[in-house]
Amino acid sequence: MANDLFLRACRRQPVERTPVWIMRQAGRYLPEYRAVRQRADFLTMVRTPELAAEVTLQPVELIGVDAAIIFSDILVVPQAMGMRLSVEDGVGPRFHQPLRTPGDFERLRDVIPEDGLGYVLEALRLVRQELNGRVPVIGFAGAPWTLLSYMIEGTGSKSFSHAKRLLVEAPTMAHDLLARLAQIVGNYLVSQMKAGAQALQLFDSWSGALGPRDFREFALPYLSQAVQLARSGGGPVIVFCPGSNWALEEIAAETGADVVGVDWQTDPAEARRRLPLSQVALQGNLDPCWLYAEPPLIRERTHQMLDAFGERGHIANLGHGILPDTPPAHARAFVAAVQEWRR
């Protein structure tokens, strides 16, 4: 590849400089993305391989990142299982009939990725062809606990009372669905590798809703199962559990992931002390709100972060997704600050 820094960093190999990409880098902060969005709604963009490929490539051209991540959504998996999904501006994703009764669970379909999620795989093929080795392509999926949370709550939540009530009242039903999701997600990620992805990321976005005991029972084992399946695809696997960085050591040990994402609430030097280079690579973790700062301050903050993580076994990123009102020039300043840094 012309630029394989990201892949080498995932494997903790020597790199000339730290690679950088941005979670949600294909998104509303880019005017070029908004121009495509005027032609189609969000789910149409996701389900149209040509449009998904177009916006996937935009940050590579416009921001200069060292990896592309396929434009999609973690909720395409429950949608493929038969749940009706909508994504509305100002509202976000919503399942119109969340899982609330045993019959709801029984109606869920199994998923063959090449059929139910073939549009994502086709978008990956298009992106890989268009990039022609310039930078790697990342595939992704939601982790089982996060998917279950959405499927039961119907939308995002502050308390996750419906999902957590299931753990209390019907733990066997919860475990059954989590195991099923782990298998589906793992197979889906392997299919993404076959279609052209060169690395994979699992987002357990709502793991922070669980206390330690419940995290260890209902989230971590099924995240681990999905990672083990995904690793059979042959590429590096990243796990990101925002809000659960108290468990960094357990996440790394139980999943065997190549890279562990670090959220912005965690000190970079502390993360590296807890997970040394000999064990795993790290990804993160600038607070997305610091991209509201002027470029000189973005540069200063970014260099401080890089000093703390070290020059090897680190992929620079934000500690969460980029915010939609971030000035594109500030995203470029972040990327440039990473790419110029040397210890």
Tell me whether residue 222 is one of the annotated catalytic residues: no
Whether 343 shows a pLDDT value over 90: the answer reads: no
DSSP label of 243: T
pLDDT of residue 88: 86
Average pLDDT over residues 28-43: 96
The residue type of 155 is T
What percent of the chain is modeled with pLDDT above 70? Answer: 100
Whether 90 shows a pLDDT value over 80: the answer reads: no
> Annotated catalytic residue: which of 12, 24, 47, 180?
24
Tell me whether residue 24 is one of the annotated catalytic residues: yes
295, 305 Cβ separation under 8 angstroms: no
pLDDT of residue 280: 98
In the chain, alpha helices (H): 5-10, 31-37, 42-47, 49-62, 76-80, 102-106, 113-116, 118-131, 144-153, 161-169, 171-195, 212-214, 220-231, 248-255, 268-274, 295-309, 328-340
140 closest CA partner among 209, 46, 62: 46
Whether 188 shows a pLDDT value over 90: the answer reads: yes
Which range among 21-30, 87-96, 107-116, 324-333 shows the weakest confidence by mean pLDDT? Answer: 87-96
3-state class (DSSP) for residue 308: helix
Q: Which band of pLDDT confidence, cut at 50, 70 and 90, is reported for residue 157?
A: confident
Tell me whether residue 37 is one of the annotated catalytic residues: yes
What are the residue boundaries of the structural domains of the chain, listed by start? 5-340
Q: Supply 18's token pair.
A: 């730290």
Average pLDDT over residues 115-125: 97
pLDDT of residue 263: 97
- Which residues pair with residue 139 across a beta bridge? 200
Q: What is the pLDDT of residues 36-45, one digit of tens each?
A: 999 999 999 9
What percent of the chain is modeled with pLDDT above 90? Answer: 97
Q: Give the whole-angstrom CA distance, residue 123 versus residue 129.
A: 10
> Annotated catalytic residue: which of 4, 33, 66, 73?
73
pLDDT of residue 146: 98
Whether this prediction's pTM lies above 0.75 is answered by yes
150 closest CA partner among 141, 140, 163, 161: 163
Q: Supply 91's token pair.
A: 């509202």
Q: What is the mean pLDDT of the chain?
A: 97
290 closest CA partner among 259, 260, 320: 320
142, 77 Cβ separation under 8 angstroms: yes
Tell me whether residue 34 is one of the annotated catalytic residues: no
Whether 195 shows a pLDDT value over 90: the answer reads: yes
Q: Supply 140's token pair.
A: 């992704």
Domain 5-340 maps to which CATH number in 3.20.20.140, 3.20.20.210, 3.40.50.1980, 3.20.20.370?
A: 3.20.20.210
Q: Which band of pLDDT confidence, cut at 50, 70 and 90, is reported for residue 256?
A: very high
Whether 290 shows a pLDDT value over 80: the answer reads: yes
> Annotated catalytic residue: which of 11, 17, 28, 134?
28
pLDDT of residue 91: 79
CA 129, 130, 135, 136 torsion: positive or negative?
Answer: negative
Tell me whether residue 204 is one of the annotated catalytic residues: no
Q: Which band of pLDDT confidence, cut at 50, 70 and 90, is reported for residue 22?
A: very high
> Annotated catalytic residue: which of 37, 180, 231, 299?
37
Whether 67 shows a pLDDT value over 90: the answer reads: yes
Whether 214 shows a pLDDT value over 90: the answer reads: yes
Whether 156 shows a pLDDT value over 80: the answer reads: yes
Tokens 């502050």 label which residue?
158
Whether 324 shows a pLDDT value over 90: the answer reads: yes
- Max CA distance (Å), the chain: 58
70 closest CA partner among 28, 127, 112: 127
